[in-house]
Amino acid sequence: MTDNEIINKAKETLGNIAIEITNPAPRRIFLKVDKKDLVEAVQRLKQGLDYNFLSTISGLDKGEVFEVLYHFTNEFAVLTVRTTTSRNDPKIPTITGVIPGAILYERELQDMFGLVIENIPDPRPLVLPDDWPANVYPLRKDWKYERPVEKIPGGE
Amino acid sequence: MAEFKVPIGPQHPALKEPISLRMTFEGEVIKDADMRLGYNHRGLEKLAEQKTFIQNLYLTERICGICSHSHTTCYAQGVEKLMGIEPPKRGLYIRTLVAELERVHSHLLWLGVAGHEAGFDTFFMYTWRDREVVMDILEIISGNRVHYAMNALGGVRRDIDDLQKKKILDSLDLLTKRTAYYANIGTNEPTFVARLAGVGVLPKQTAIDLCAVGPTMRASDIPRDVRKDDPYAAYAELPFEVCTANTCDVLGRTIVRIKELFECYKMIEFILKNLPAGDIRVKAPRRVKEAEVVSRYEAPRGENIHYIKSNGTDKPERLKVRAPTLANYPATLVMLKNGYIADIPLIFAAIDPCVCCAERLVAMTDYHTGETNIVRMSELRQKSIEHYKRVNPAKKEIVWPF
> Both B317 and B328 in a single domain?
no
CB B104 within 8 A of CB B175: yes
d(CA B297, CA B306): 9
Q: Which residue has the higher pLDDT, B18 or B108?
A: B108
Instruction: Determine, yes or no, domain membership for B396.
Output: no
Max CA separation in chain A (angstroms):
72
Instruction: Determine, yes or no, domain membership for B387.
Output: no
pLDDT of residue A155: 73
At B337, which CATH number? 3.30.390.50
pLDDT of residue B361: 37
CB B310 within 8 A of CB B82: yes
Which residue of B lies nearest to A142 if distances are taken between CA atoms? Answer: B46
B111-146 burial, b for 16+ CB within 10 Å, e for fewer?
bbbbbbbbebeebbebbbebbebbbebbeebbeeee
- Asked whether the predicted pLDDT for residue B373 surpasses 70, the reply is no
Of A76, A78, A128, the CB nearest to B294: A78
At A35, which CATH number? 3.30.460.80
- Asked whether the predicted pLDDT for residue A90 surpasses 80, the reply is yes
- Asked whether the predicted pLDDT for residue B1 surpasses 70, the reply is no
Owning domain of residue B87: 53-321
Contacts of B171 (CB under 8 A, 6+ apart): B133, B134, B136, B137
- Asked whether the predicted pLDDT for residue B364 surpasses 50, the reply is no
Query: Identity (one letter) of the amino acid at B236?
Result: A
> Both B192 and B245 in a single domain?
yes
Please say which residue of B321, B339, B369 terminates a domain: B321
Instruction: Determine, yes or no, domain membership for A54.
Output: yes
Of A80, A100, A104, the CB nearest to B294: A80
> Both B303 and B258 in a single domain?
yes
> Both B66 and B88 in a single domain?
yes
Chain B CB within 8 Å of residue A71 CB: yes
CB–CB contact B38 A129 (8 Å): yes
Residues of chain A with pLDDT > 90: what percent? 63
CB–CB contact B305 A56 (8 Å): yes
- Asked whether the predicted pLDDT for residue B386 surpasses 80, the reply is no
> HEC string of chain A?
CCHHHHHHHHHHHHHHHEEEEEEEECCEEEEEECHHHHHHHHHHHHHHHCCCCEEEEEEEECCCEEEEEEEEECCCCEEEEEEEEECCCCEEECCCCCCHHHHHHHHHHHHHHCCEEECCCCCCCCCCCCCCCCCCCCCCCCCCCCCCCCCCCCCC
> Both B119 and B195 in a single domain?
yes
Of B38, B224, B292, the CB nearest to A128: B38
The crossing angle, in degrees rounded to 10, of helices B162-188 and B89-117 is: 30
> Both B339 and B314 in a single domain?
no
pLDDT of residue B352: 28
pLDDT of residue B357: 22
Instruction: Determine, yes or no, domain membership for A29.
Output: yes
Please say which residue of B293, B321, B349 terminates a domain: B321
- Asked whether the predicted pLDDT for residue B372 surpasses 90, the reply is no
| Mean local confidence (pLDDT), A19-29 | 91
Domain count, chain A: 1
Instruction: Determine, yes or no, domain membership for B377.
Output: no
DSSP string, B84-144: T----HHHHHHHHHHHHHHHHHHHHHHHHHHHHHTT-HHHHHHHHHHHHHHHHHHHHHHS-
pLDDT of residue B188: 85
| Mean local confidence (pLDDT), A3-20 | 90
pLDDT of residue B356: 20
CB B400 within 8 A of CB B188: yes
**Helix (H/G/I), strand (E/B), else coil: B8:** strand
pLDDT of residue B350: 35
Q: Which residues does chain B have within 8 Å of residue A128's beta carbon, measured at their own beta carbons?
A: 38, 41
pLDDT of residue B113: 84
CB B261 within 8 A of CB B101: no
Q: Which of A130-134, B165-169, B362-366, B393-397 has the lowest mean pLDDT?
A: B362-366
pLDDT band of residue B15 (cuts 50, 70, 90) is: low
At B286, which CATH number? 1.10.645.10
Instruction: Determine, yes or no, domain membership for A108.
Output: yes
pLDDT band of residue B359 (cuts 50, 70, 90) is: very low
Owning domain of residue A95: 3-118
* ipTM field: 0.92
Residues of chain B with pLDDT > 70: what percent? 87
pLDDT band of residue B377 (cuts 50, 70, 90) is: low
pLDDT of residue B35: 84
Q: Which residues does chain B have within 8 Å of residue A106's beta carbon, measured at their own beta carbons?
A: none
Instruction: Determine, yes or no, domain membership for A42.
Output: yes
Domain count, chain B: 2
Chain B CB within 8 Å of residue A74 CB: yes
Instruction: Determine, yes or no, domain membership for B224.
Output: yes
pLDDT of residue B26: 86
pLDDT band of residue B268 (cuts 50, 70, 90) is: very high
Instruction: Determine, yes or no, domain membership for A10.
Output: yes
> Both B114 and B243 in a single domain?
yes
Beta strands of B2-87 (E only): which ranges? 4-8, 20-26, 29-36
pLDDT of residue A86: 94
CB–CB contact B38 A127 (8 Å): yes
- Asked whether the predicted pLDDT for residue B119 surpasses 90, the reply is no
> Both B328 and B317 in a single domain?
no
Instruction: Determine, yes or no, domain membership for A63.
Output: yes
Q: Which of A19-33, B141-155, B164-178, B361-375 has the lowest mean pLDDT?
A: B361-375
pLDDT band of residue A68 (cuts 50, 70, 90) is: very high
pLDDT of residue B254: 87
Instruction: Determine, yes or no, domain membership for A153.
Output: no
Q: Which residue has the higher pLDDT, A154 or B242?
A: B242
pLDDT of residue B393: 61
Query: Identity (one letter) of the amino acid at B37?
Result: L
Instruction: Determine, yes or no, domain membership for B390.
Output: no
Please say which residue of B302, B321, B340 terminates a domain: B321
Instruction: Determine, yes or no, domain membership for A25.
Output: yes
> HEC string of B233-267?
CCHHHCCCCCCCCCCCCHHHHHHHHHHHHHHHHHH
Chain B CB within 8 Å of residue A27 CB: yes
pLDDT (tens digit per residue) in B316-336: 999 999 888 888 888 888 888
- The number of residues making up chain B comes to 402
Instruction: Determine, yes or no, domain membership for B35.
Output: yes
Count of beta carbons in the 10 Å neighbourhood of residue A50: 14
Query: Identity (one letter) of the amino acid at B201?
Result: V
How distant is the alpha carbon of residue B119 from its chain centre?
20
> Both B294 and B327 in a single domain?
no
> Both B289 and B327 in a single domain?
no
Q: What is the mean pLDDT of chain B?
A: 85
> Both B312 and B180 in a single domain?
yes
Q: What is the mean pLDDT of chain A?
A: 90
> Both B63 and B128 in a single domain?
yes
Instruction: Determine, yes or no, domain membership for B114.
Output: yes
| Mean local confidence (pLDDT), B153-178 | 94
CB–CB contact A73 B296 (8 Å): yes
Q: Which of A29, A56, A80, A107 to mutate to test the interface with B (most CBs of B within 10 A)?
A: A56
Instruction: Determine, yes or no, domain membership for B384.
Output: no
Q: Beta strand pairing status for A91-93 and A116-118?
A: parallel
Beta bridge partners of B368: none
| Mean local confidence (pLDDT), B64-80 | 91
d(CA B27, CA B21): 18
